[in-house]
Every structure is written in structure tokens, then in C-alpha cells.
Amino acid sequence: MFKHVIVKTPGRSYVNGLTTSDLGTPNYDKALEQHAAYVEALKKCGVEVTHLPANEEFPDSTFVEDTAVLAPEFAVITNPGDVTRNKEIIEMEPILKGFYQTIHHINSPGTLDGGDVLQVDDHFYIGISDRTNEDGARQLKRIVESEGYKGTIVPLKEFFHLKTGIAYLGNEWIVAAGEFLDHPGFASFKKITVSAEDEYSANCILVNDYVIVPSGYEQTTRQLNDAGYKTIELEMSEFQKQDGGLSCLSLRF
């Protein structure tokens, strides 16, 4: 059960942030509305929300997930792979010190985005992507193993971040798309399979009694409901435009 969540309001500079999509420029006012709905959904899940103010210096800093990897016993401050995002960790570390006594760090030349890390019970899957390099992945693997967890490095072939295409829902269930549908590292899990057309919906999040899922993906939502999960659907269009998904917008612990 998660008790705490950290979120950060997008600033006006958000519309000029990084993206690889061709979905157009975000509508800032609509992004604020969608972010507010996201926060309300988290509260419905029974967590205490720490809501950080916007920082115009860092356009992408609403995507707080990339700044840290959190377990119940320790936090890891990451080293984001894009130079324009790297200093976001300076703002996040003092916040996490209010919750954690044990804090580790990913150090250069290693890079790591939190979006490339999926925790499955006592096991961390660590993606190697354009933002997370092998050095950073190996550093995190050593850290989690020193804390009594398991770590597996997963080189990505097609997804931007590891969690772009996979989510863990507990009880041996995963949501999987693309390269993870037949990935040998996840062969033992029960799968909710996501089609190429609905790929964006693979980035959903289990928060206590609910799975929060992007709206507009009826097949994914129906499969979640059929598997026994209660769902909350949220419009995410203005974050999808900047390569962002539901997991990206919060740190959950």
C-alpha cells in the first residue's frame, strides 16, 4: 500500500519541454486541468499528496518520476540522461530527505531516468534506453542488491522508457505492450495485453485499490476490469504530447 505521493505542477514553460512526439504543442490551461484531475484521483486512492510548485527553469520537471527511485526502506536520487533535466534532482533531494534516512545516488558518467525502473515486489527491472545508460543501470542494480532486493537489466529495443510499455499490478499481473508481450524476462507473469493501437495505455499505475489508466482505451480498461481491478480513467492528451504518461507525473511510496 502506498502512503505518500509527490507531484509537481507544470509551469508555463512546460509547453516548450522535450518531446519526440508529433502530436502538437500542449495546451497549458488544459494541462493544468488534467494535472489537477490526476491529483484528485491520487487522493481518491487514499494517499497523502505532497504537491510541489511549478519551476519555470525546468520545463519537464512535472515528470517527477525521473528524479528518483523509491523503495520502502531507501531512496535513490537518479542522474537524468538529458542535460536539460539533470538539475531537477537538486530540487527533489531535500524533499525526499523529509521521508527517508537512507539515500543513494547515481553518479556520472552513469545516467538513469526513473521512468526506466519497474519495481515488481522485491525485484527491480532496469531499462537501458536513450536516457539510462549501462553504467547507470549497473549502479542501480548494485544499490538495490545491497539493500536486499534483486535487480535485472533490460536493454530496450523500441520504447522511450521501460515503463512506457509495461506496468506491474501486483499478484503476478502485468500490463504489457510491444516488445514486452513476448519478452522472456516477463514470461512467467499473467498478462493484460495491449495492442499497438492502444500502446499508450500500457503506462497505467496501480495505487492501492485502483488502477489509474488513460481514458479512451476501452479494450485495456475492459481487460483490467475483467481481471478484477477497479479503474479510474483520466484524460492525458497534454502529457502524451510531451512523451509523458501516468507514471511519470508522480513518485509513489
Is residue 248 among the annotated active site residues? yes
CA distances from 187 to 116, 172, 174 (A): 19, 11, 10
Is residue 161 among the annotated active site residues? yes
> What percentage of the chain's residues is helix, strand, coil (to nearest 5)?
35, 25, 40
- Give dist(CA 68, CA 75) in Å, integer: 7
31 CA to centre of own chain: 18
Residue written as cell 515528470? 63
Residue 127: phi, psi to the nearest 5?
-80, 145
Single out the catalytic residue among 35, 104, 204, 248. 248
- Give dist(CA 18, CA 160) in Å, integer: 12
C-alpha cell at 2: 502506498
Single out the catalytic residue among 35, 104, 161, 204. 161
Burial of residue 170, with CB atoms counted within 10 A of its CB: 0-12 exposed, 13-18 middle, 19 or more buried: exposed
CA distances from 25 to 31, 38, 96 (A): 11, 20, 32
Q: Could you list the active site residues?
A: 161, 248
